[in-house]
Amino acid sequence: MANFAHRYASIADVKRQLRITDTNDDVVIGLIIDNTSRQVDQYCNRTFWPLNTVKYFTTTTFDELCIHHEDLLAVSEIAVDQDDDGTYEETWAVGTGKFVLCPRNNGSLVPPKPYWEIEIPTRNTNYFPVAGDDSIKITGTWGFYNETTSVTTVTTNIGSADSVIVLANASTLLEAGQMIKIESEQILITSISGTNVTCTRACNGTVAATHSATTVVYQYAYPIIEEAVTHQSVLTYRQTQFPYGTVGVGDVNVEPRVMVAAGLHPFVRGMIAPFRRIPIAE
């Protein structure tokens, strides 16, 4: 089980903007998308793809845990170490009323936004420990987005150990480097030949499972972020085609030519500025 960061845009989308129809530079464009996606993560001080993992926290209040420096999408369970002995004696399951995720209406938004606080209802007798470090253990899904759209279906039953899977119209609907989701499992595509997809299973804290034929295959969506990464990737690719990062006509030292700015373009920064999190000292 390994963690793989997602691409926030597709090679197909970038090539469409560039009016490229061949596959000669697909590897280069894929690398540009990878690098641009991570630039966006760094600029925004957060990651937008979902990761299933355990994280540890400390609080000074009995009835609330603020996690402004994390993006919480869902909780599987919360465990607490009440006496600071390194053992998490209590486990609070989802749906037992032991805690609520806040803001409470976040999950009803389109697209949903992450939660940034966990509260214990006043009627409860359980409480967060305030002694010791890392006394709260949260198993959940972390990241800003967990949005998907259906793209194709499973053609042949998939075993939990299969590294080559058969998906309908894979070569036209999917691409290498893309992360897909089948039921609850994240799967990284490494190469495609016809309908045969070579892949890495059980990515980002998900579990390799069996999947039946006709099961729907999903691709991840990143509203606004996807558009920003596509735009920046187009600009970065064009830099590789012109000397000194310039675009235009004529000689290098003769106008008109336009210098392409290094790093994220100001237009791109403007698009993703609302997603930027200001680091909070802990």
Predicted local distance difference test score (pLDDT) of residue 262: 62
Whole-angstrom Cα distance, residue 136 to residue 92?
11
- Is 125 a member of any domain? yes
- Full residue range of the structural domain in which residue 58 is found: 51-142
- Is 194 a member of any domain? no
Mean pLDDT by 10 residues, the chain (282 residues): 91 96 95 96 96 96 93 96 92 93 87 93 91 93 96 98 98 97 98 97 97 98 97 91 57 47 85 89 54
Predicted local distance difference test score (pLDDT) of residue 257: 44
Q: Dihedral sign for Cα 151, 180, 221, 195, please.
A: negative
Predicted local distance difference test score (pLDDT) of residue 251: 52
Whole-angstrom Cα distance, residue 153 to residue 173?
11
- Is 185 a member of any domain? no
Q: Mark residue 202 as left, alpha or beta (left: phi above 0; alpha: psi -120 to 50; beta: remaining).
A: left
- Is 97 a member of any domain? yes
- Measured from the Cβ of residue 105, the count of other Cβ atoms closer than 10 Å reads 9
Predicted local distance difference test score (pLDDT) of residue 2: 83
Predicted local distance difference test score (pLDDT) of residue 245: 55
Answering whether pTM is above 0.85, one says: yes
The answer to whether the CB of 26 falls within 8 A of the CB of 93 is: no
- Is 222 a member of any domain? no
- Is 105 a member of any domain? yes
Torsion of CA 141, 146, 151, 157, to 10 degrees: 10
The answer to whether the CB of 216 falls within 8 A of the CB of 232 is: no
Would you call the peptide bond into 223 cis, given omega within 30 degrees of 0 as the criterion?
no
Whole-angstrom Cα distance, residue 2 to residue 221?
21
- Is 127 a member of any domain? yes
Half-sphere exposure (CA, 13 Å, Cβ side) for 109? Answer: 14
Predicted local distance difference test score (pLDDT) of residue 109: 84
Q: Mark residue 88 as left, alpha or beta (left: phi above 0; alpha: psi -120 to 50; beta: remaining).
A: beta
Predicted local distance difference test score (pLDDT) of residue 72: 96
Q: What would the two tokens of residue 174 be?
A: 């999917």
- Is 246 a member of any domain? no
How many domains are contained in the chain?
Answer: 1
